[in-house]
A = this chain, B = another copy of it.
Amino acid sequence: MRSTDVGELTCPVARAIGDVGDPWTLMIVRELFLGSHRFDQFEAQVRASPILITARLRALEANGIIAKRSYSARPLRHEYHLTEKGLDLWPLMVALKHWGDRWGGFKAGPPAAMRHKACGHVTALNLVCDCCGQPISARDVVIEQGRLMSGERDALMAEKRARDGAKARQRRRPAAGRRPSKSERLA
């Protein structure tokens, strides 16, 4: 399975990982939220080879996360901007920043801050329950998988068991034409 194929799983987290769960893609999205829109800015800040940037920008565009906007007709040039789908990745960026701030080893404190326009204060990640407004973290919730998702997960484990069983059976009744084992090769 390719890492881009994880998006085919019936799990929202896996779907998201399939679309944006790649380091360079995430770095480009970070750049977009920091206000970069042009190819050369991505090249300078993301520090990946141009062929990589091109490929990732095309994929992001194909997935509707960014859109090209022309800013010059002659020569034809465009900028890349986040769509609504792309802007909705903001909580993901905030979550990455929160974790990086806490565990990134910044002795002198966070290298950047987010100021809330409405109240004027510097703000940080604060996740609260949709319903009661209480702050929530991993231990405050239970995950309830729907039938589709749990069914798929059970099937994946069953498939693996079947594969492993078949492999063991074949080992005990070795057929012709297989790869010689290490001990056989050494003999």
Contact = CB atoms under 8 A, between A and B. Distances in A.
Interface of A: 1, 3-7, 10-24, 26-27, 30, 33-35, 40-41, 43-48, 85, 87-106, 108, 110-119, 121-132, 134, 136-146, 148-149, 153, 156-157, 159-160
Contacts of A23: 3-4, 6, 17-18, 21-22
Contact of A119 (B118, B129, B142): B129
- Copies of this chain per assembly: 2
Contacts of A118: 129, 132, 134, 140
Contact of A33 (B12, B27, B123, B138): B138
A69 to B, nearest CB: 17
Contacts of A149: 111-112
Contacts of A14: 27, 30, 100
Contacts of A122: 131, 144
A127 to B, nearest CB: 6
Contact of A3 (B24, B85, B140): B24
